[in-house]
Each structure stands twice: as structure tokens, then as C-alpha cells.
Amino acid sequence: MIHHNKKGKSLSLSQFSAAAVFAAAAPVVPAAAEPAGPSTTEAEVSEIVVIGTRSGRVDRTLSSDIVTERMSPSSRSLERDLLSAAAVSRLSDALELVSGVSNQNNRGGFLDNFAIRGFLGTPDGGAEYYVDGFLANRGMGPPRDPATAERIEALKGPAGALFGDIDPAGRVNIVSKTPRFSPSASAIFTYGSFDTRRVELDVTGPLSDQFAARIVVATEDSDGWRDHVTLKRHVVAPSLTWEPAGGMRLTYVGEITHFDAPFDRGIPALNGDANALPASRFYGEPGDGTTRFRNSRHQLTALAELGGGWTLNGGVAWRTGSLKGFSSDQSRLVDGQTLWRQRRQRDFVVDDLSARFELSGELGAHRLSVGAKGYRLDYQEHWLRRNPTAENPHAIDIYDPVYGGSAAPLLPFTQNRERRWSGTLYLQDMWDAIDRLTLSGGIRLDAYRQRILNERTGAIAKAVGEPLNFRIGGRYRLSDVFAFHANWGESFLLNSGTSRELEGFAPERGKGYELGITAAWPGIDVAATWFDIAKSGILTNDPVDPNYLAPVGRLTSRGIELDAAIKLGGRWQIVANYAWTKARADDAAFATDAVLNVPEHAGSLFVSARFPGAGDRELTLSAGLGYIGPRAGAIDMSGLVLPGYAKAKVGADYRLSRHASVRLVADNLFDARYAQSSYSPVWIFPGAPRTVKASLELRY
């Protein structure tokens, strides 16, 4: 038997040293300027509200288009410098800067999961997000490492389209760092609380007049703030751009990710209190070892300027991944002290291939886009598990956990293989009807086949369909400062997995609208938006047996979002947001109409200021404050509510010279105790305590 404690571990860089050597050895050829290849005008860049400072041109093969940026004024682009100033370490950190986004169950620490405007992804697969315009977690995807991101686009509402994909609530697109023809290199060395060690390398530059390369390498090793829950993550992201003459550009982006940690379901609530037990206490079994997530993606995109304002944009992305490991997950709290545990083994594999092509251009007062896209998914979920019983509860004491127990032998649970084939055709038009009025519309046809084989029973669940969806919108400029917008759209999404009856699920369907007003002065962007959205067929944990998923008959969400981004004198930047969200489930099978982890009130404020000194020296100070209101922690009969909380963050960055700077960041400055998210009364993930990190950055 072993008692709960913490163990220090030494940092090993062997897993990425080869890539680092390649990066250091890569030739960096001096270049006077970026070539005059396919680019984006400044007028196009300014359509979306940019939070931070955008560097370099916009690659439309990786990001939202002009129509989305103009017709979705509530959307935001979080730039690289802001992500660094806010000390973003996970995707959820960045999304705190956007209104209407809330944390969801993180699947034992192996999932980036969030809700937008009250609508959540599945508890197992999480909310969908994109990388460079390709869906990046279909089936499953690892937590994102911020080192590879150039910016994060939060595309809100029915007009927040991304290569024909829309959701009435919104989409998130992460734009990768890609090669530049101006040479540069940086290395960041970080040490922080809980013996956290992290190194980031980023090298880019021209290989010739037509070729440029880049490689990003990051490694992190931490003892973690939860007992026995260490973390090792590594990412290598090479990329290559070819720009021949004639308005052509081809870009390859690769990414190999390793994410290793014990599977951690957090803590149980005690007498309805989500914060009653120590936040650091681990109720799994250290002997279960490490769960390993491996993910590899390769992507090739191309842009061709055809002349007359027309372009052809296309790409292919291939992603493979696996999640393997054992865990002992909380199952039931008996006698107020003894926690029964269910032992599990996971063996998940995903193979996802997707492609897209889009022709766009101007025809008089119209900007037209017509596109075709498709994907092929092969997703395998193999689970073994053993439920606890009175004879073999695989139990642990919540007050004095003693590890080393063993469960009965594992038995087959879920053995599914899901295959999908989907093709999409879409058409959209943005029409400058009169001087101040712009209208938009889109139509999309999906043809899909889904086949889920239960390898235990041989049963096959099939789904075939050809849904047709529409969206319309309008924007009217009341003056050079104020504009009004209105958008309506509908969506369709295939669901994965099987129910408690081992049957497949019907697709998720949604429709909704938003109305809003924006105001823009030099350096100031303000927006207020009302939304009203309804969806059916959303998966959540089954109220009868939370080991399975079940669809909600209908979920509605309406609310108000307020966003402000202010830049003053080139030195001060302020980002503020507030959201009132009223999300409710309408299904008699559920004990409550509450929606998991969605607060009615939430908001954040982030401020940074630059103070130039002598020569190249400069001090940047930043501070942030976030508030999350009370929200449902379970949808069973317990009525569990996660208390509201406020969390502060401060940072200081001092540039010593053009080539070196130091940074100190403290997150959760006042050491607030809070529950970050929940899946059930026994699976509550606590928020991290005060965390301090110091970094040294060297630049060329």
C-alpha cells in the first residue's frame, strides 16, 4: 500500500531533441521582404475585430473568409501576442477572453471541451473545434498546445461560417503558425509551480526565393498540482511553404503530439458541496499508470489567384490518433466516506481524412463562393470495465486515501467501430445591396452514410441522409460608427457512439438567430448581441446510467453578449466581456431542465500596458479578472450546483534588449477555491490553485 503524496521527476528532452537539432541546423537565408505572392489587403484584414496585434498576412486557406468576418461582427480573433500576454496554456485559457464560452467536462484531463452560448459538445468527444479550417477532433482530439497557434478565431452565430460549416452558436478555429520569408527564431524557457518545466523553440525563414520553412517544438514536464497526477506533453510542428510565380501558394503543416498523464476524474461532492474535499486529492489508482494520447496530423493547402478577383482555395488533411490506458474512476459514494470505484481500460483509435475546395470571387456587387468538401472517418472505441460491487467495491476512503487496491478482472464493455462517409456542397453569396446595406445567404447539402458496428454482438446501426440547410443575414451601417446586424441559420451534426440500448443516435439539428449592434471608433470596438437558439438531439450523460450517453429532446438558449476591445495610444489594451445566458433542456426523461456547466452570468476583464524604457527596453504589465456564476454540476436528482467564483491573473514582461526578455505570471492570484467543471456528483474537476511561472525568451 502507498499513501497519497507527491513525487518529483526529472525533465527529459530526448523525445524532441532530434527535432530541435533539425530546427537549429535549418538554413536561414536572409530576405529583404515577404514575396508578393497571394496576400490579403488591409481592408480585408480589418473586417474582424482583432484582439492583440496581428503580424504578417492572412492566409485564407487556413482561416475565415471575408464574408464571415464582415457578416459576423460578434466574432473575435485572438492574436499571438495576446495569447502570450494572457499566459495561455490550454485552449480554455484563451476562450476566457471571449463572451459566452464556458468550461465543460475535460474527460479526465484529456479533452479541450467548452460550450458556446450554452451549447456543449458530447461529454466524451467534446465541443467541435477546427485547426486551419479542418475539423480537428472528429472522434477525438488531444488538448491543444498553444505553442503552435498563430491566432484563435471565435466565430460567433449563424454567420460564423468556416468553409461552409456553421453552428447557430458559434465555431472555434485555431490558425497554425506557418513559414515566413523573413528569418526569425525564438526560444522560451519556463519554470513554475509544481516543478513545471517547459521549453518552446520556433524557427522560421526562407530556404530560397520560393520556399520557406518553419518548425515549432514544445515540451512540458510537470509534477502537477494534484497528487500523483503528473503531466508530460510534447509537440513537433514542421511546415513548408512554396510560392512560385503567378499567384500560387502551397503550404504543408504537420503536427505530432504526445500527451501523457494519469486519467483523473477529479473529486466527488460531499453533502452537495463541490468544494468540500481537498482540491489536490486524487481518488484514482496510481498503479493504473499513465494514459497516453498520440496524435498526428498532416495538412496540405493551396491557393491560386485566377485573375479578376477570383481565387481557388483547397486542401487535404489526414489525422490519426490513439488513446490508451487504465483508470479507476469514481462510481458511488456510500456511507459518506467510502468511495466505490469502477476500473476501466481504454483503447481508442481514430483515422480521419478530409478534403475541401472552394471557388470564390466578385461578380458585380456580389461576392460568391461555391465549395465541395468531404471526409472519411474510421473511429474505434474499445472499453473494458468492471463495476464495483459490495463484494469487490474497489473502494477508497475519501478522507484518508490508501492506494494499492485491486479490482476484479475487467470485462468487455463497449467494442464499437464507427465509419462515416460524408460529402458536402455549399453556395454562399454576399451582396452589397445599397451603399450601407449588405445581405448574405447560404445553402448547404450534406450527403452522409454512418455505420456503427458493435463488435461484441455483431449488431450494426446505420444512418443515411441528405439534409439541406440554409442561412441568411444582413448588416446595415447606420453611420460610419454604428452598424446593425441580423443573422439566422440552421445546422446539422452527426452524433457518435451508442446508447444504453446499444443503438446509434439521430443527428443533432439546430436553428437560431442573433440580433446585434456594433460601434467602432479608432482603437475602440464595442458589440452587443442578442441570440436565441434551439437544438435537438444533443448528447449528454444518460440520467438513468451516466456510463452511457443519451440525447436531449430539445435544448434552448437565449441571452445577451457584451464585448469591448480598446487600444489606447499604442500602449494600453483592454478586453472586456459579459454574457447573460439562459440555457434550458426540455426533456421529461431528465430530472432537471438545467444544462451542465453553463452559468447564467459570466464575464472577464483583461488589461495590459506597455511602458517603454531606454533603448530597446520595455516593461509590459497585465492583469485579468474573470467571474463565472453558479451553474449546474449534475443533471440527476442530486441537484448539485457548482458555486460561482472569481479568479485573478497578473503578469509582468520586461524586454531587456531586442534579443531577450523575461516574464513572470501568477494565475489564480488570490488562490480562490473553485470547481472548474463537472460531469456528475462524483466527477468534479477542481480549479488549479495559485500558479506562478517565470520565463526567459531569447529571440533572433
Strand spans (E) along 273-337: 291-307, 310-334
Say what the pLDDT of residue 636 is: 85
Separation of alpha carbons 576 and 533, rounded Å:
24
CATH topology of domain 2-699: Maltoporin; Chain A (2.40.170)
* DSSP-derived secondary structure letter, 194: G
In sequence order, the 6+-apart residues with CB closer than 8 A to the CB of 25 are none
Using CA of residue 582, residue 587, residue 591, residue 595, what is the dihedral sign?
Answer: negative
Mean pLDDT by 10 residues, the chain (700 residues): 41 39 38 42 58 83 90 91 88 92 92 91 78 94 94 93 90 96 97 98 97 98 97 98 91 98 97 97 97 98 94 97 97 95 97 97 96 97 95 96 94 93 97 95 95 92 93 96 96 83 83 96 95 90 74 91 93 95 87 91 96 94 97 91 97 96 97 96 97 96
Say what the pLDDT of residue 94 is: 92
In sequence order, the 6+-apart residues with CB closer than 8 A to the CB of 618 are 610, 611, 612, 654, 655
Name the H helices within 52-90. Answer: 66-71, 80-85
8 Å CB contact between 101 and 127: no
Q: How far is CA 113 from the centre of its chain?
A: 7
Terminal-to-terminal C-alpha distance of the chain: 52
pLDDT (tens digit per residue) in 365-388? 999 999 999 999 999 999 999 999
Say what the pLDDT of residue 228 is: 97
Identify the CA nearest to 75 among candidates 117, 127, 128, 38: 117
Say what the pLDDT of residue 539 is: 81
Beta bridge partners of 140: none
Interior CA angle at 410 toward 407 and 415, to 5°?
A: 150
